[in-house]
Chains A and B, each alone.
Chain A
Amino acid sequence: MINIENLTKYYGNNRAVNHISFTINDNEILGFLGPNGAGKSTTMNMIAGYLPMSDGTVTIYGADITKDPLKAKRNIGYLPEIPPVYPDMKVKEYLSFCAGLKRVPRGERSKEIERVMGLLKIKDVSGKLIRNLSKGYKQRVGFAQALLGNPKFLILDEPTVGLDPNQVAEVRAIIKDLKKEHSVIFSSHILSEVSAVCDRVIIINKGDIRAIDTIENLEKSMASTLVLHIKVKGDKDTAASVIGMTKGVKELKKIEDEGSSIYAFTVDLEGDSDTVRDAIMSDCLKNGVSILEMYTDKPNLENVFIELINRPVKKNGLQELLDEIPDESEKTTEKKEEE
C-alpha cells in the first residue's frame, strides 16, 4: 500500500501542489486526472523520489521515500513524462543497463529483459539505436524500463502520449493487465482513457484535489439526469401527451417536426431509464403511435471533468459537485432554439 499524506510542493512562492493526501491500494489502478499544469507531474516526481517535497510524506510499502529512499525506490517503476532513454544506446543495451541499475540479479537479467520486451512488443527493435526509434517506440522502451525487476508500484506519467490509436489500445491493455500484480498510479489529461483503465480517479487542478471517486460513482451521478431522444410517427398531440404523462419523465423539452408526420422528442428522465423506456414504448403502441428511434445520451464525463476542474470549490464530495453542475443538454437546447 502506498500512502501519500499532506504532500506539498512550493516553487519559490508558487504553490504547485497543495496538501494532497490519498492512498493507493494493492492491485489498484488509480487514475490521476487533470489539465496540463495541474501539478500531476510534480506530484508523481515527488512520489517517485525525484523531487523532494516541501511538506508531507510518501510511504511506499512501509518505506518513507525521504528517510529510506533506497528501500522505497526498489519497489518503484517510474515512467516519467519524457521517456528517460539514452539516444546513443541500443534498446537491449539500454534495458540491460536499467536492469543493473534496478538491481535485477545478474542471472535473471536476460530473462527479465526478454519478458518486458515481449510485453511491450519491442523485440523487433531490440538491436536498434534508440535515437532512430519513433516517438511511440521510445515511449514503449521507457515503459519497458519501468517494468524491469517487476516493481510492486508503478508510476506512469501520461504513458500513452505520442502513441498511435492502435498502440494506445495495446498499452491500455497492458496497464489493465498489470493490476494483477502491481499497484499503479497513472496520469492523463484524457478522461476517456482514465475511465477505460482505472478503478478510482483523482481529479486535480492547480495543486488541489477536486475529487476522489470510482468511475462507477462518477457515471452513476451523471446518469441521474439522462436525456432521452425519441422519434415517433403518428399524431403529434397524442404522442406528446403519452410521453409527457409517462412516469419517470421529468420534462418534455423539445418537439421537432421532421415532416410526413414524424416528430422528434427530447425528454429529460429521472430514475431508471430502462423502465421509463419500456413504459413509453408500450404506451405509444397502445395509442397508435409508432416509435422509429429511441436512444439516451451517454453520460458526458468530459463535461463533469471540465466543470470539476474549473470550479473554485474544493474538498467537497463528488456528488455535491455534480449536483451543482448546470445541465449541459439544457444549455444546448436553448441555444438551438435561439437559432
Chain B
Amino acid sequence: MFPIYKKELQSFFYTPFAYAFAALFMLLFSLSFSNGIAKLEGSNTWAFSFTEMFYSVILYFIFLIPLLTMRTFADERKNGTEVLLMTSPVSVLKIVIAKFLANVTVYLFMLLGTAFFPIITAMKGEVIVSQLICAYIGIFFWGTMYIAVGMFISSLTESPILAAIIGEVIMFVLLFIDDFSNTAFISQYPKVQSVIYSFAAQPRFAYFSEGFIRLSDMVFFASVIIVFLSWTYMTIEKRRWNRG
C-alpha cells in the first residue's frame, strides 16, 4: 500500500502539479479574501469572517478537486499500468485507499497554504480561533468528500478530461441539493423533500462554519466518503469481470 501512496505523492510533488494546484487555490482564496475585506469600507453592518468566506471556497472546489482526482484511475487505464497494480500482490481495496490518502495529502498541503491568511489577519485584527478551527474541519471534510466523488468518477472512464467534467457536475449537484429540495416544486411533497434534504451536505457544512462540531455531521461526511470509495472499489472489480 505504501509504495502506491508514495508513488502518487511523487507524481504530484516531483512535477509542478501540486505547487501549481496549491497556487491556484491560494489565488482564488485571496480573491475572496480581498473581496471580503473590501466590503468593510464604508459599511458598519458588514463583518468579515473567514467562515463566511469558506462558502465561496467550497464553490471553487467544484472546479479544483476534479483537477486533482481526474487522473487517479483514468491515467492508470490509459497508460496500461492498471495491469501492473492488479497483478502485484496488493489488493484492490488497498490500491483505492492508498490513492485516496495521497489525494487527501495534496489537499491538506493546499489547505495548509491558506492558513497564511488568518495568521496575517490575526496580526492586524481579530480572529476567533475556535470557530476558525471548526470551519477548517468542515472544509476538510467537504474536500475529502469531493475527492472520494472525483476518484469514483475517475474509475469510470479512461479519459481524465471526461472524469473532470462529470465530476464537476456531480459535485455541483451535491453542493446545491438543499436548494433543490427547498424549491416550490419539491416543497409540495414534504416526504420527498425530507428525503432529498437528508442528502444535503451544505447545511451540515454550515454547522461546522458556525463553530459546531456534531457527531452526526462527521458521520454524514464519513459515510459519503466510504460509500464513494466502496463504489470506486466495486467499479474497478466489476470492470475486470466485464472487460471485453
Contact = CB atoms under 8 A, between A and B. Distances in A.
Interface size class of A (residues with CB under 8 A): 20 to 34
A121 interface: no
B121 interface: no
A8 interface: no
Interface stretch (B6-14, B50-58, B186-194): B6-14
Interface in B88-147: 88-91
A307 B111 CA distance: 66
A12 interface: yes
Contacts of B15: 88
B27 interface: no
B11 A88 contact: yes
Contacts of A101: 3-4, 84-85, 88-90
Contacts of A12: 244
Contacts of B89: 69-71, 73-74, 101-103
B214 interface: no
B86 A97 contact: no
A80 B86 CA distance: 12
B83 A80 contact: yes
A12 B243 CA distance: 9
A71 B240 CA distance: 20
A337 B90 CA distance: 65
A78 interface: yes
Nearest to A65: B87
Given A70-B89, A102-B88, A84 B241 contact: no
A131 to B, nearest CB: 10
A138 to B, nearest CB: 11
A50 B79 contact: no
A87 B85 CA distance: 15
Contacts of B11: 86, 88-89
A52 B238 CA distance: 10
A135 to B, nearest CB: 13
Interface string A169-188: 00000000000000000000
A93 interface: yes
The 4 closest A-B pairs by CB, nearest first: A100-B3, A11-B244, A84-B84, A82-B80
Interface of A: 11-12, 14, 16, 45, 48-52, 69-71, 73-74, 76, 78, 80, 82-89, 93, 97-98, 100-103, 145
